């Protein structure tokens, strides 16, 4: 009976149409994405594509351009006063942008069809991965198992349900096709597949920076699987190197990249800062790849807290366990070395962003192949004598747990992640609905005491109100990035705020200001209708006490005061002169 079941599974995983089956399966598992609507950054991008703001539709992924642009945003309030004036975020993702422009040309009012478009890209990426597994591992059950686990990987959930993140699916799809064409060229010698590989690399890079991981796998294949001397192997990659060089030149001349943010790190502008952050971010990403705990949990708490420390220790422990588990396999098998080195190198480009599972498309490619190969080594009878007995006992238990995670838990976690993403977006829209839209607001400054998230709870006000053709506040004025506050009325027109929970209470709250952009005691910021003085710094060099002064009494009708409470903005009345009010930290939308 056991042998017949094994034979049936073997036959299924080897079936010549299995790649197409898992491609369809990947979309069916995440079919709930069709009901997701527009979410989070989708509103910003939709506003840009529909012509609001000062950016062209093709610049959907260009958020912060230069100092003058940033200062204008600070005046309006879509960028907070503490944002870096030199903040720059411009991403080279024109291929992905064109797919979004196509959506808005064909079905601009039907997000379900846009999500269907994303699911088709997911299926295409999984299909390419399945054919790549079969090309490298042969038409074996090992290749089929790797394809099945990759199709069910929960890391696909957010890119499938989040239109703003479709670029990850497109970059993976073209990247996998580039690898597939390269491997076939090396096996069969057809020159056209070599140049097809070069073209697909270019398309992957044009879809998003994640496409750099394609080069990581190409280099890994040349170093571990390909034959001949090392010099000959590298020479074969020269056309791909030419594409990379051209992309880097365009990136530099086009002023693409990111700087001034504590969330995005640019290895070229800040190589030392990136190197320092890489190990920790890579460990969190490996935690997200191999366990049910998503990598983005690392950003839910402020750096230095006990919870963050424990999670950091846990992530490094997971990385160590993964290393112990796979190193014996990698040492004895050059194909495993290809997958392992490719997955490891593909961590480099995505570590430039705060750790999130949605970035793991390329890491998962090599990881699932390694797990499938490990399954063969651990459970196949023919391999029992070829591995150390002590390691085999540990590997048997670990492999069983990982198979349960990636075959059973992963798709369920992906479905749950889609539901969570939709709930987060609905909480954002509830917050937007609580922002006043009466005609008076157009002549008022909306002063928000404690928004726990500036991007999605302050900046989003502009995008949502514009898209719904609702009146906008004259200015948006956030006084903090959340956390526990102590607010003292020191004069008819002045408030002094102490940040008891730290000025940046979470890692994500540093999105618009890098740790390297230091504050100084007495530093002064001047905005229309508001003067800010940083009076005291804390031990981290962040504001601990700030004085806010308005040109009119705080009770003046030109000021609309609101406080974040129970997931919405509610009216707030400033205390009397000389009185202090303590405001506890409120939970944000995440």
Q: Where are the domains of the chain?
A: 2-426, 434-583
- Give the count of beta carbons closer than 10 Å to the beta carbon of residue 384: 12
Question: What is the rounded radius of gyration, in angstroms, for the C-alpha atoms of the chain?
Answer: 26
Beta carbons of 100 and 166 less than 8 angstroms apart: yes
Q: Which two tokens stand for residue 249?
A: 């030149």
Strand, helix or coil for residue 175: helix
Q: Extract the runs of DSSP E, i.e. beta strands, from 339-386.
A: none
Residue by residue, pLDDT tens for the chain (590 residues) are: 556 667 778 788 888 999 999 999 999 999 999 999 999 999 999 999 999 978 889 999 998 988 999 999 999 999 999 999 999 999 999 999 999 999 999 999 999 999 999 999 999 999 999 999 999 999 999 999 999 999 999 999 999 999 999 999 999 999 999 999 999 999 988 889 999 999 999 999 999 999 999 999 999 999 999 988 899 999 999 999 999 999 999 999 999 988 888 888 877 777 877 888 898 999 999 999 999 999 998 887 777 778 888 899 999 999 999 999 999 999 999 999 999 999 999 999 999 988 999 999 999 999 999 999 999 998 875 444 456 677 788 889 999 999 999 999 999 999 999 999 999 999 999 999 999 999 999 999 999 999 999 999 999 999 999 999 999 999 999 999 988 999 999 999 999 999 998 999 888 888 999 888 899 999 999 999 999 999 999 988 999 999 999 999 999 999 999 999 999 999 999 999 999 999 998 888 98
Looking at residue 575, the DSSP 8-state letter turns out to be: P
- Give the count of beta carbons closer than 10 Å to the beta carbon of residue 37: 16
Model pLDDT, residue 239: 96
- Give the count of beta carbons closer than 10 Å to the beta carbon of residue 214: 32
Q: What is the pLDDT of residues 490-499, one digit of tens each?
A: 999 999 999 9
Could you tell me the strand order of the sheet in which 62-64 lies? 62-64, 88-90, 257-259
Beta carbons of 375 and 9 less than 8 angstroms apart: no
Q: Which residue in 191, 178, 192 sits closest to 129, CA to CA?
A: 178
Q: Is 144 left (phi over 0), alpha (psi -120 to 50) or beta?
A: alpha
Model pLDDT, residue 215: 97
Strand, helix or coil for residue 3: helix
Do you know the residue count of the chain? 590
Q: What is the signed CA dihedral for 188, 189, 193, 197, rounded to 10 degrees?
A: 100
CA–CA gap between residue 419 and residue 68 (Å, rounded): 39
What is the bridge-based pairing of β-strands 445-448 and 475-478?
parallel
Beta carbons of 288 and 358 less than 8 angstroms apart: no
- Give the count of beta carbons closer than 10 Å to the beta carbon of residue 526: 11
CA–CA gap between residue 345 and residue 278 (Å, rounded): 12
Model pLDDT, residue 550: 98
Looking at residue 344, the DSSP 8-state letter turns out to be: H
Q: Is 541 left (phi over 0), alpha (psi -120 to 50) or beta?
A: left
**Over 524-543, what HEC string results?**
EEEECCEEEEEEEECCCCCE
Model pLDDT, residue 263: 85
Q: Which residues contact 320 (CB under 8 A, 6 or more apart)?
A: none
Q: Which residue in 406, 403, 394 sits closest to 375, CA to CA?
A: 403
Q: Which two tokens stand for residue 19?
A: 């790649």
Bridge partners of 62, per DSSP, are: 90
Could you tell me the strand order of the sheet in which 559-565 lies? 475-478, 445-448, 559-565, 568-571
Q: Which residue in 460, 479, 457, 478 sits closest to 468, CA to CA?
A: 460
Looking at residue 210, the DSSP 8-state letter turns out to be: G
Phi first, then psi: what are they for 515, rounded to 5°? -60, -25
Looking at residue 309, the DSSP 8-state letter turns out to be: H
Model pLDDT, residue 384: 45
Maximum distance among all Cα pairs of the chain, rounded to whole angstroms: 84
Model pLDDT, residue 409: 96
Question: What global pTM score does this model have?
Answer: 0.94
Q: Which residue in 217, 219, 206 sits closest to 246, CA to CA?
A: 206
Query: CA 438 from chain center: how many Å?
Result: 36
- Give the count of beta carbons closer than 10 Å to the beta carbon of residue 532: 19
CA–CA gap between residue 499 and residue 192 (Å, rounded): 62
Tokens 């750790």 correspond to: 355
CA angle 146, 149, 152 (to 5 degrees): 150
Tokens 């969570």 correspond to: 420
Beta carbons of 494 and 548 less than 8 angstroms apart: yes
Q: What is the pLDDT of residues 29-49, one digit of tens each?
A: 999 999 999 999 999 999 999
Q: Which two tokens stand for residue 349?
A: 């480009």
């Amino acid at each position: 009976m056991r042998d017949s079941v094994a034979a049936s599974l073997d036959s299924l995983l080897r079936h010549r149409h299995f790649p197409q089956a898992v491609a369809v399966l990947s979309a069916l598992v995440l079919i709930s994405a069709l009901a997701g609507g527009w979410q989070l950054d989708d509103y910003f991008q939709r506003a840009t594509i529909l012509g609001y703001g000062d950016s062209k539709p093709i610049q959907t992924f260009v958020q912060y351009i230069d100092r003058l642009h940033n200062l204008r945003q600070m005046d309006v309030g879509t960028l907070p006063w503490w944002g870096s004036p030199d903040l720059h975020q411009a991403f080279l993702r024109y291929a992905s942008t064109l797919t979004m422009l196509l959506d808005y040309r064909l079905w601009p009012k039907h997000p379900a069809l846009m999500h269907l478009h994303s699911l088709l890209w997911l299926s295409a990426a999984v299909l390419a991965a399945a054919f790549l597994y079969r090309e490298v591992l042969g038409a074996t059950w090992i290749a089929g198992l790797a394809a099945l686990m990759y199709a069910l990987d929960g890391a696909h959930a957010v890119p499938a349900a989040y239109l703003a993140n479709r670029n990850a699916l497109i970059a993976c799809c073209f990247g996998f096709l580039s690898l597939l064409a390269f491997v076939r060229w090396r096996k069969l010698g057809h020159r056209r597949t070599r140049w097809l590989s070069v073209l697909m690399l270019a398309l992957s890079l044009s879809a998003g920076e994640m496409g750099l991981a394609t080069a990581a796998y190409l280099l890994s294949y040349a170093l571990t699987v390909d034959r001949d001397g090392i010099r000959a192997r590298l020479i074969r990659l020269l056309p791909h190197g030419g594409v990379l060089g051209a992309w880097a030149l365009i990136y530099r001349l086009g002023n693409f990249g990111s700087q001034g943010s504590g969330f995005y790190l640019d290895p070229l502008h800040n190589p030392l800062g990136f190197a320092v952050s890489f190990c920790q971010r890579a460990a969190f990403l490996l935690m997200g790849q191999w366990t049910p705990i998503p990598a983005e949990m690392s950003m839910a708490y402020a750096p230095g807290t006990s919870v963050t420390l424990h999670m950091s220790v846990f992530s490094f422990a997971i990385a160590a366990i993964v290393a112990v588990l796979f190193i014996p396999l990698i040492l004895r098998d050059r194909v495993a070395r290809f997958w392992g080195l490719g997955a490891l190198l593909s961590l480099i480009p995505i570590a430039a962003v705060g750790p999130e599972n949605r970035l793991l498309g390329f890491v998962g490619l090599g990881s699932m192949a390694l797990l499938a190969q490990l399954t063969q080594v651990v459970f196949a009878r023919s391999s029992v004598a070829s591995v150390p007995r002590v390691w085999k006992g540990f590997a048997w238990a670990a492999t069983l747990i990982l198979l349960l995670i990636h075959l059973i838990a992963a798709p369920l976690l992906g479905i749950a992640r889609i539901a969570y993403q939709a709930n987060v977006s609905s909480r954002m829209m509830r917050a937007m609905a609580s922002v006043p839209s009466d005609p008076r607001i157009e002549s008022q400054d909306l002063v928000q005491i404690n928004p726990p998230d500036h991007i999605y709870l302050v900046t989003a006000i502009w995008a949502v109100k514009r898209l719904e053709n609702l009146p906008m506040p004259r200015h948006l004025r956030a006084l903090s990035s959340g956390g526990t506050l102590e607010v003292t009325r020191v004069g008819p027109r002045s408030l002094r705020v102490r940040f008891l929970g730290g000025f940046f209470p979470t890692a994500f709250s540093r999105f618009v200001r890098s740790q390297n952009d230091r504050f100084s005691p007495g530093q002064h910021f001047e905005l229309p209708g508001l003067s800010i003085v940083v009076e005291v710094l804390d031990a981290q060099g962040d504001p601990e006490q700030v004085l806010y002064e308005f040109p009119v009494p705080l009770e003046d009708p030109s000021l609309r005061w609101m406080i974040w409470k129970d997931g919405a903005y509610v009216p707030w009345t400033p205390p009397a002169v000389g009185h202090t009010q303590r405001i506890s930290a409120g939970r944000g939308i995440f």
